[in-house]
Amino acid sequence: MPIYEYRCKECGEEFEKFLRSMSASKDLCCPKCGSQSLAKVISLFGTARTSSGGLSLDSSCAPTGG
């Protein structure tokens, strides 16, 4: 199942959700405030580019705070 990331438009909470399909997202609500006013967040992958344009081997899959 894919993991989708969302940000609540009311309180700013960011969270991830496992969904079988995007149609399942219609029933989503913020786990912090319960709002259904959500925005899908574009995920960053665990790769990084160096300043010279090469691929860094020090990349991390750790989530980035926001």
- Predicted pLDDT at 3: 83
> What is the average pLDDT score of the chain?
76
pLDDT surpassing 70 at residue 32:
yes
5-9, 31-35, 40-44: which has the minimum mean pLDDT? 40-44
- Predicted pLDDT at 18: 86
Q: In what order do the strands lie in the sheet with 14-18?
A: 14-18, 3-8, 38-41
- Token pair belonging to 11: 């309180």
Residue boundaries of the structural domains of the chain: 3-41
- Predicted pLDDT at 2: 76
Average pLDDT over residues 42-65: 57
Residues 6+ apart with CB under 8 A from 44: 64
